[in-house]
Amino acid sequence: MKVAVVGVTGLVGTVMCEVLEEQNFPITEFLPVASARSVGKTITFRGKDHTVISMEDAVAARADIAIFSAGGGVSKEWAPRFAEVGTTVVDNSSAWRMDPTKKLIVPEINADILTENDKIIANPNCSTIQMVMALAPLHKRYGIKRLIISTYQSITGTGAKAVNQYEAEKEGKTPEEMAYHYQIMDNCIPHCDIFLENDYTKEEMKLVHETRKILRDDDLKITATAVRVPVQGGHSESVNVEFFSDYNIQEVRDILTATPGMIVQDNATNNEYPMPLFSKNKNEVFVGRLRRDESAENALNMWIVADNLRKGAATNAVQIAEYLVANNLVGAMVEK
């Protein structure tokens, strides 16, 4: 397979390369792609040095798969150009997620809807991915009526500028650039992405719209509050789930334990519960603090944690690519 990673020098792009190496993805030619200011730089992949190339050169190379993590504007402009020459694009930005002609994929949940005609495939938002991983099997079993979500999101979700701000503040220095309106060290900021007309942030509404699309339920009632916290290991989410029917808490644990990609950590007696401290650099989604909400009928409280650069971004994108390859839905395999 000829594989391009677009945005290869960014936080997520770097992790995408790590995951491709770890998963031993079948690559015969690797194309590192980035913006003009990074063209000509050298990166190491699988022990060999590779020169970063331009978007134009990457399109001309006609890769089988291009995994994008370069921002919505870049994806809007360039993903169609890659697709026009036969490259299948897996895009990590928000550009295509709610496009009704594009599929929004978490492989464990809905990869089966992909076909060889899907040339631009959307990777969901990081917060959405880890949440629907836990919710999808429960929705199938009990039917979800309403979700109340509070997120505690890592600074790595904002990017390198946020990490630099945090590191400077931790050392007592003045950051060269501010990723946030306020300091993030010793602080929690209830403001992820921009505010919309309804006073929710864009990040909060992503959780609403993307969850409905992935679970294929436009009637699902969802409200969310997204908070940025001074953590680098991953995103955490407190999720209150109201079902249409009653549930058995042990059956919930059993369902989640049997779900591929999920790890249940739910033993209050031994202080076992998910934390970003232990999710960092892991590909799985962790769930715990499972308990009945005694204030509402058929309601469950959950605590969901995952590395937002891994399953929340790079790992999920690579898993989509793996599914395409395994099912002969991409590149030269389709031409056969």
- pLDDT beyond 60 at 3: yes
* 299 and 231 fall within a common domain: yes
Q: Check if 188 is active-site.
A: no
Per-residue tokens: 72: 């919505």
**What pLDDT digit, counting tens, does each position of 143-188 carry?**
999 999 999 999 999 999 999 999 999 999 999 999 999 999 999 9
Average pLDDT, whole number, for the chain?
Answer: 96
Clarify whether residues 85 and 201 are in a common domain. no
Residues 19 and 39 in one domain: yes
Q: Are residues 296 and 177 part of one domain?
A: yes
Set 17, 126, 139, 192: catalytic member: 126
- Which string of DSSP letters, residue by residue, matches 277-331? HHHTT--SEEEEEEEE-TTSTTEEEEEEEE-TTIIIIIHHHHHHHHHHHHTT-SH
Instruction: Verify whether residue 235 is a known catalytic residue.
Output: yes
> Do 156 and 299 sit in the same domain of this protein?
yes
- Stated pTM of the model: 0.95
In a shared domain, residues 169 and 148: yes
Indicate if 19 and 91 belong to the same structural domain. yes
Q: Pick the catalytic residue: 17, 50, 139, 235?
A: 235
The closest of 47, 17, 12 to 32, measured between CA atoms, is 17
Q: Which pair of structure tokens corresponds to residue 89?
A: 């694009």
pLDDT in tens, 73-129: 999 999 999 999 999 999 999 999 999 999 999 999 999 999 999 999 999 999 999
- Domains in the chain, number: 2
Q: Which residues constitute the domain of residue 246?
A: 127-308
Q: With pLDDT > 70 as the criterion, what percentage of the chain qualifies?
A: 98
Res 333 pLDDT > 90:
no
Question: The domain that contains 180 carries what CATH number?
Answer: 3.30.360.10
